[in-house]
A and B are shown apart, each in its own frame.
Chain A
Amino acid sequence: DTAVSQTPKYLVTQMGNDKSIKCEQNLGHDTMYWYKQDSKKFLKIMFSYNNKELIINETVPNRFSPKSPDKAHLNLHINSLELGDSAVYFCASSQEALGGIGGYTFGSGTRLTVV
């Protein structure tokens, strides 16, 4: 039933490792996003995909690579993890035809801790 589901919910890993976070939405939305929430709760967009095409790519280190195999999935792969990557990562989706004015639906987040 979950509209936007992310896995894993928690991820603890060592510096230098490579990890992936998966996201799936069952809302039929056309557009998916990755947001990063830092320790002060500030939310910043990282990427956006519309129908498997990258449409927003904010200033994010190229160690972060999103992949959208189909419009219901948007995964985030992170290479060579650094301490500063520790944050909560949120996946979201929206109906592109509404230009986002219908609001975004967010997943419950993945708390990444790099040690």
Chain B
Amino acid sequence: GQSLEQPSEVTAVEGAIVQINCTYQTSGFYGLSWYQQHDGGAPTFLSYNALDGLEETGRFSSFLSRSDSYGYLLLQELQMKDSASYFCAVSGGYQKVTFGTGTKLQVIP
């Protein structure tokens, strides 16, 4: 089976940097993804890491360490609109993706 752990809530100040961690246990691993979901909305894809290291997309970066079964999402220059829930997800193959329970990020002025 697959399981993921991430903090349930994080609070950060506008303009700051925040890191959301994700640890996983899986019987088969292809990659780690991150999704953003605003209240009342649908999840939207942010990033995907299949190999160790850091992937950068604008203000967002995602890191993966396969040996540690660990990854994180880094949000820089936080904006109020970044307040949302963030989900990590592991892909164990072409079919199934297992999601974590989500981290609710609150950005405060």
Chain B associates with chain A = no
Q: B residues engaging A (CB < 8 A)?
A: none
Q: A residues engaging B (CB < 8 A)?
A: none
